[in-house]
Structure 1
């Protein structure tokens, strides 16, 4: 996996005069970097600290036991990162990567029939890139997606109704769930705040989780669009398993991560 290299001042420091750090010093450096970067990866820490990957894993396990970090696939995140949910207007990180993921998802569109496009930043980019001659019924719980696609006469756009969350501009609760129970769509395009082998598919909000669960039930084929920052992460509410997804489209995964996710169920497409 390609990892963005942090500036030297922000990376974990080695011991003075090139000497090795004691375990406590290493763990302090790991926490300092995790707090600044939002997550740490085993391979990168091993290179920066000049220790083995196994030593890093022991440090991460020790910090998890102290309640400071939470282990995820390939690394760890600070415990205070788990519940974060940026508002829709602030979801501009990784835009180019998300555009590539959305473009790759176009291959999963059915030639006719119906699709569901869930609320979210990457799924909205998919809606933006739908071919102009496409003729489909598009269900969505996303107000931005509905407003974007409604002017296109060849599409039939149907929203679920329900309470609109200010954070995501997505429709949730009873009206939305009632609508979802009445439909069957050919392909559903979903997002996630976290996806991991241990925790499955997760999101920070209970109402969003309920809608996502029902989308999984209402679709014949399910495609998950997530950038690599979501891989190995876990949010508060679990709404599905990796085996619930037929296709996972993401970016910059290494061969080991891709194989592990493939083995859990979905066909993994890396862009």
Structure 2
């Protein structure tokens, strides 16, 4: 078994059980405890777990959320593929909404510069990025800016979204599962994401495979509110089948 495969299984077990133990993992995978510790270190650097004495715990289940800078270095190839697949959902003209996040930021980077579009976003960094494309009309949703994600949240953002209606909303999620739907660690961001779903004719969720099966603190939507879920090709076929059985269209990039 390759290290990446073992680490994915460890991450899934941590999310399911709430904690993993170094000694037990070493026995189950028939490797040394030092190998498992290296795996946990790699997962910690990816923002998936936090190492504790004797093992590790999943960060997002505890409500911890890595910074934008930390998340931007994780699953980069997958996010690029997801972003380019998402371009098929962008209309030739009209209005779209880009949620804050590192995957949606890649959609912003990939948007054709010659297309007449209005882009609404609650991300300071995405709005700044889009100013380099002068044919786009960029509207930034106001509100309190969370330093961890550079996203505008709270009442000002919700009031603006209440008066907004776009063709397509591209929304990120920290967790997506059949049981809990769409989740994120922060209640303020959950409220904004919920309002974004209500402000769009079509909702496209973009998230890499590590988010599937994960449940975070705050739910902001159910799977039946999503038109398309775009993820990467590393998502397990059984999980794809489970999502599709819940009548969710899944695209693996």
What range is the shorter-chain TM-score in? 0.7 to 0.9
CA RMSD across the alignment: 2.6
Looking at structure 1, the residues matched to 188 and 128 of structure 2 have their Cα atoms a distance apart, in angstroms, of 22
Q: Which residue of 2 aligns with 1:89?
A: 69
**Structure 1 segment 190-229 matched on structure 2, within 5 A:** 190-229=171-210
Looking at structure 2, the residues matched to 210 and 152 of structure 1 have their Cα atoms a distance apart, in angstroms, of 29
Looking at structure 2, the residues matched to 33 and 208 of structure 1 have their Cα atoms a distance apart, in angstroms, of 37
Gapped regions of structure 2 (runs ≥ 5): 11-16, 31-55
Moved over 4 A (4+): 33-36
Looking at structure 1, the residues matched to 66 and 219 of structure 2 have their Cα atoms a distance apart, in angstroms, of 18
Q: Which residue of 2 aligns with 1:258?
A: 240
Equivalent position to 2:109, from 120, 123, 128: 128
Looking at structure 2, the residues matched to 34 and 102 of structure 1 have their Cα atoms a distance apart, in angstroms, of 38
Distance change in 2, residues 1:35/1:163 (3 Å): farther
SS, match of residue 131 in structure 1: coil
Q: Which residue of 1 aligns with 2:93?
A: 112
Contact kept in structure 2, 1:249 and 1:269, CA below 8 Å: yes
Q: Which residue of 2 aligns with 1:268?
A: 250
How far is 1:183 from its partner?
Answer: 0.8
How far is 1:268 from its partner?
Answer: 0.2
Looking at structure 1, the residues matched to 59 and 140 of structure 2 have their Cα atoms a distance apart, in angstroms, of 34
The answer to whether structure 1 residue 249 and structure 2 residue 230 are counterparts is yes
Q: Which residue of 1 aligns with 2:48?
A: none
Looking at structure 1, the residues matched to 134 and 24 of structure 2 have their Cα atoms a distance apart, in angstroms, of 49
Looking at structure 2, the residues matched to 261 and 33 of structure 1 have their Cα atoms a distance apart, in angstroms, of 33
How far is 1:151 from its partner?
Answer: 3.0
Give me the TM-score of the superposition, normalised by structure 2: 0.78
Q: Which residue of 2 aligns with 1:236?
A: 217
Looking at structure 2, the residues matched to 184 and 81 of structure 1 have their Cα atoms a distance apart, in angstroms, of 31
Gapped regions of structure 1 (runs ≥ 5): 12-26, 37-44, 50-76
Looking at structure 1, the residues matched to 128 and 57 of structure 2 have their Cα atoms a distance apart, in angstroms, of 37
Looking at structure 1, the residues matched to 94 and 3 of structure 2 have their Cα atoms a distance apart, in angstroms, of 39
Distance change in 2, residues 1:146/1:6 (3 Å): same
SS, match of residue 21 in structure 2: helix
Q: Which residue of 2 aligns with 1:176?
A: 157
The answer to whether structure 1 residue 5 and structure 2 residue 5 are counterparts is yes
Q: Which residue of 1 aligns with 2:35?
A: none
The alignment covers a number of residue pairs equal to 215
Looking at structure 2, the residues matched to 206 and 214 of structure 1 have their Cα atoms a distance apart, in angstroms, of 12
Q: Which structure: larger Rg?
A: 1
Distance change in 2, residues 1:33/1:208 (3 Å): farther
Looking at structure 1, the residues matched to 64 and 206 of structure 2 have their Cα atoms a distance apart, in angstroms, of 19
